[in-house]
Structure formats: C-alpha cells, structure tokens
C-alpha cells in the first residue's frame, strides 16, 4: 500500500467563519481531503494577532470545529487539531524568523492590507507568515488548499523551506497551494476582501435573519450593468447561465437580486446549520484531543530533526 501524501490547511479562529472561508478553503478541503492524509488546523495562535478577549478566543475555537464538521469534514478521516496544542509550531516559527529578513517580510500584502484596515501593527501580525510556514512545513505537507489571498503566504512557506534547506541541509518539502481560480477573492459587504477581522462578512452559519441583514448591506454600484459585489457572491451558488437570466430579468432591481441571493445561500447553508446544532462542546473537546495527539506525533519527530540540524540538541 502506498502512503498517502499530506494535505494541510488552517483557518484562524478569529471570528465566525464566513462564506469566503467556505468557498475559498473549506469546500476545496472537503472536496479533496479523503485522497490525502489530511490535517485541518484551528489557527488559534494566529487569531491572537487580532483577538484579545480570552472568552471570545475560546468561543471561536469551539465554533470553528463545529463549523468544520457541519461543513462536511469527518473527524475520523482528517486530523482536526488546534495550533496551540502543538508547541512545535511556535518553536519552528522562531527558527524561521531567524532565517528571513525584515525587508522580505515587509513585502507581505496581508500585513499591509490589515494595517491599512486599522488592525494593530503588532509583531505577531508582521511575522505571521513564518508561523504559517511552520504550520505547513512541520507535516511534510505537499498541498495546501487556500483562498487566493493566501497565495503569497504559500510562497513564503516555500521560501522558508528553501532557506532552511540551504543553510542546514535538506529537511523540508516545498509545498504547493491549491487555489480554486473560479472562486478568487470573495468580496465582503463593503466590496473589500471578506474577512473575519474586517466586520464585512456574510456569516456561514448565521441565522437566516443575520444572513439577510448582511446581504442587504452589500454595497451596490449602479455604474455598471449589474451590482458587481452581489453578483460576485451569487456566482458561487449558481451557474453563470442561470444568473444571466436572473440578472437580466431584474436589471436595476437590487432588492429582488439580494432576496434571490439570500434564498440561494439559505438552500446551501440550511441543512449544514441543522447538522451544526447537533455538535456539542464535549464533541469538540474530544475531536481536538484526538487531533492533538496525532498532530503532535508527526510534529515532534520533525522538530527533533530540526533541533539536531540547527545545533541546539547537544
Ligand atoms: P482574518 O480576517 O482573521 O485574517 P479571514 O476571514 O481572512 O480572517 P483566514 O482564517 O485568514 O480568514 O483564512 C482562512 C481561509 O479562508 C484561507 O484559506 C483564506 O485564503 C480563505 N479566505 C479568507 N477570506 C477569503 C475570501 N474573501 N475569499 C476567498 N477565500 C478566503
Ligand atoms: Mg485572513
């Protein structure tokens, strides 16, 4: 029997997951994870770059795992774990921080975008790509399903692997991103990238009323043929041919188009929301405990090798 290659992705537990997260990363993961030895990480240490309320941090961890399972990830077929349970992530990130330069990190788009959006320019946010490189490289991951906005961070992970390999000898695999081109970067209600930390989301598991409120607040620009931001989200739920007719019939009637979008979202989310309600906090604890043990076994072996290579193991 040939061993399966490893696949890993992570989502920050920095707020309620939104439809950008679903189509950019969770759905691609669900579509392919059974063909690999798959890891799905709750990036709770990454979330500390934006969250400072411990109660909220905890709540978001529980919610993330419930969202993953409700969206179709079977915990018996993927290792679902949280980053903070495997200390090797932060340990390896430090080693990468010592290999890359400040000017290299200054080229990061995500950091600049977040600071421009008013997020605090803390050092964790700045060095985030090296923690993400550690998340991926610790597991000899070959493929990382992510949204378009994370393309550069996978390049950074490859760069970290190459720097380490050149300095200390071959150790890490250079991973490849898996990005669904047709999804691209999904806009939020303000037309900017939909992000948990920007308050511009359509929540994946919100109530119908919450989804309705978010959809109604999508900014519409009447200069073009159709409301671009509504359309960009709508095309995730229907074929372009179907939308062609719908948008032609309702030209200029933005309220009708938004109502149709709410219905289309509801048809996809409704059944998942029901499943989500059946998952308890105890279920989450059990999933994460199992996942931590499995992830730790892989990461600690890799880190032993890294400590030897850099010379701290004496
Ligand atoms: P934060 O604001 O805390 O960075 P986020 O909403 O950007 O949160 P992440 O946890 O950073 O979410 O990203 C999780 C996954 O979702 C990544 O693979 C990312 O590429 C994808 N993703 C996030 N936002 C979008 C979007 N608007 N369109 C497509 N994919 C997205
Ligand atoms: Mg993000």
Any idea what the CATH number is for the domain that residue 92 is in?
3.40.50.620
108 located within any domain: yes
Q: Which letter does DSSP use for residue 179 in this model?
A: -
Mean pLDDT across the stretch 239-261?
93
Do you know the residue count of the chain? 314
Where does residue 213 rank: exposed (0-12), middle (13-18), buried (19+ CB within 10 A)?
A: middle
Q: Which two tokens stand for residue 179?
A: 């990005």
Element (H, E) at 79: strand 78-82
**Does position 224 have pLDDT exceeding 80, yes or no?**
no
| Residue-wise pLDDT tens digits, 162-173 | 999 999 999 999
35 located within any domain: yes
User: From atom 7 of ligand 1, which residue's Cα is the shortest distance away?
Assistant: 195
Is the CB of residue 17 below 6 angstroms from any atom belonging to ligand 1? no
Supply the DSSP string of 244-288, one letter for each residue.
HHHHHHTTT-HHHHHHHHHHHHHHHHHHHHHHHHT--HHHHHHHH
Distances in Å between the Cα of 162 and the Cα atoms of 158, 175, 233, 300 are: 6, 11, 37, 21
Is the CB of residue 185 below 6 angstroms from any atom belonging to ligand 1? yes
Mean pLDDT across the stretch 266-277?
92
> Which ranges constitute the DSSP H helices of 79-118?
88-97, 102-106, 109-116
**Does position 245 have pLDDT exceeding 80, yes or no?**
yes
Is the CB of residue 206 below 6 angstroms from any atom belonging to ligand 1? no
pLDDT of residue 252: 87
Is the CB of residue 64 below 6 angstroms from any atom belonging to ligand 1? no
pTM over 0.85: yes
Considering the domain architecture, whether residues 166 and 263 belong to the same structural domain is answered as no
Is the CB of residue 196 below 6 angstroms from any atom belonging to ligand 1? yes
Share of the chain above pLDDT 70, in %: 98
pLDDT of residue 2: 63
Instruction: At 81, give phi and psi (nearest 5°).
Output: -145, 165
Work out which ligand 1 atom sits closest to the CA atom of 43: 10
Considering the domain architecture, whether residues 248 and 120 belong to the same structural domain is answered as no
Mean pLDDT across the stretch 294-298?
98
Considering the domain architecture, whether residues 100 and 247 belong to the same structural domain is answered as no
Q: Which letter does DSSP use for residue 25 in this model?
A: I
Ligand nearest to the backbone CA of 146: 1
Instruction: Provide the pLDDT confidence category of residue 222 given band limits of 50, 70 and 90.
Output: low
Considering the domain architecture, whether residues 134 and 113 belong to the same structural domain is answered as yes
Mean pLDDT across the stretch 181-197?
94
Distance CA 29, CA 33 (A): 5
**Does position 197 have pLDDT exceeding 90, yes or no?**
no
Distance CA 191, CA 228 (A): 9
111 located within any domain: yes
Using DSSP, state whether 281 is helix, strand or coil: helix
Considering the domain architecture, whether residues 233 and 92 belong to the same structural domain is answered as no
Ligand nearest to the backbone CA of 187: 1
Domains in the chain, number: 2
Distance CA 194, CA 263 (A): 20
Considering the domain architecture, whether residues 250 and 290 belong to the same structural domain is answered as no
Where does residue 210 rank: exposed (0-12), middle (13-18), buried (19+ CB within 10 A)?
A: middle
Whether 114 is catalytic: yes
Considering the domain architecture, whether residues 84 and 163 belong to the same structural domain is answered as yes
| Residue-wise pLDDT tens digits, 26-51 | 999 999 999 999 999 999 999 999 99
Work out which ligand 1 atom sits closest to the CA atom of 18: 6
Instruction: Provide the pLDDT confidence category of residue 3 given band limits of 50, 70 and 90.
Output: confident
In a 13 Å sphere around the CA of 53, the CA atoms on its Cβ side amount to 6
Average the pLDDT over each of 35-39, 123-127, 187-191, 194-198 and give the range with the smallest value.
Answer: 194-198
Using DSSP, state whether 304 is helix, strand or coil: helix
Considering the domain architecture, whether residues 146 and 264 belong to the same structural domain is answered as no
CA of 150 to the centre of ligand 1 (A): 8
**Does position 77 have pLDDT exceeding 90, yes or no?**
yes
Q: Provide the domain limits for residue 208.
A: 196-275
pLDDT of residue 225: 75
Which residues are CB-contacts of 26 (< 8 A; sequence separation ≥ 6)?
11, 17, 67, 68, 71, 72, 73
Q: Which two tokens stand for residue 116?
A: 């421009």
Considering the domain architecture, whether residues 258 and 128 belong to the same structural domain is answered as no
Distance CA 234, CA 241 (A): 12
Which residues are CB-contacts of 279 (< 8 A; sequence separation ≥ 6)?
65, 66, 69, 70
Is the CB of residue 49 below 6 angstroms from any atom belonging to ligand 1? no
Considering the domain architecture, whether residues 166 and 214 belong to the same structural domain is answered as no
Mutate to test the pocket of ligand 1, among 7, 32, 109, 149 (most ligand atoms within 8 A of CB): 149
Mean pLDDT across the stretch 260-275?
94
**Does position 1 have pLDDT exceeding 60, yes or no?**
no
Mutate to test the pocket of ligand 1, among 17, 23, 25 (most ligand atoms within 8 A of CB): 25
Whether 235 is catalytic: no
**Does position 97 have pLDDT exceeding 80, yes or no?**
yes
Considering the domain architecture, whether residues 240 and 99 belong to the same structural domain is answered as no
Whether 193 is catalytic: yes
Considering the domain architecture, whether residues 127 and 74 belong to the same structural domain is answered as yes
């Amino acid at each position: 029997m040939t061993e399966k290659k490893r696949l890993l992705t992570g989502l920050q537990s920095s707020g309620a997951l939104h439809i950008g997260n679903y189509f950019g990363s969770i759905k691609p993961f669900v579509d392919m994870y059974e063909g690999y030895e798959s890891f799905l990480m709750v990036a709770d240490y990454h979330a500390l770059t934006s969250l400072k309320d411990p109660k909220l941090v905890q709540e978001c961890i529980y919610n993330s795992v419930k969202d993953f399972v409700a969206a179709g990830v079977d915990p018996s077929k993927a290792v679902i774990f949280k980053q903070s349970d495997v200390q090797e992530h932060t340990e390896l990130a430090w080693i990468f921080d010592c290999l890359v330069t400040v000017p290299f990190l200054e080229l990061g788009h995500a950091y600049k975008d977040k600071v421009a959006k008013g997020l605090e320019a803390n050092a964790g946010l700045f060095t985030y790509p090296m923690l993400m490189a550690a998340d991926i490289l610790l597991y000899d991951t070959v493929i990382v399903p992510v949204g378009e906005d994370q393309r550069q961070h996978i390049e950074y992970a490859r760069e970290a692997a190459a720097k380490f390999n050149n300095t200390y000898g071959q150790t890490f695999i250079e991973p490849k991103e898996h990005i669904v081109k047709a999804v691209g970067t999904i806009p939020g209600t303000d037309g900017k990238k939909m992000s948990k930390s920007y308050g511009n989301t359509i929540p994946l598991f919100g109530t119908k009323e919450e989804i309705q409120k978010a959809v109604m607040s999508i900014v519409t620009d009447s200069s073009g043929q159709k409301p671009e931001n509504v359309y960009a989200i709508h095309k995730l739920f229907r074929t372009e041919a179907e939308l062609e007719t719908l948008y032609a019939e309702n030209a200029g009637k933005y309220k009708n188009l938004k109502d149709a979008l709410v219905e289309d979202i509801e048809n996809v989310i409704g059944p998942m929301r029901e499943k989500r309600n059946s998952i308890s906090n105890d279920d989450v604890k059990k999933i994460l405990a199992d996942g931590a043990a499995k992830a730790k076994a892989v990461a600690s072996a890799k880190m032993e090798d890294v400590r030897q290579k850099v010379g701290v193991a004496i």
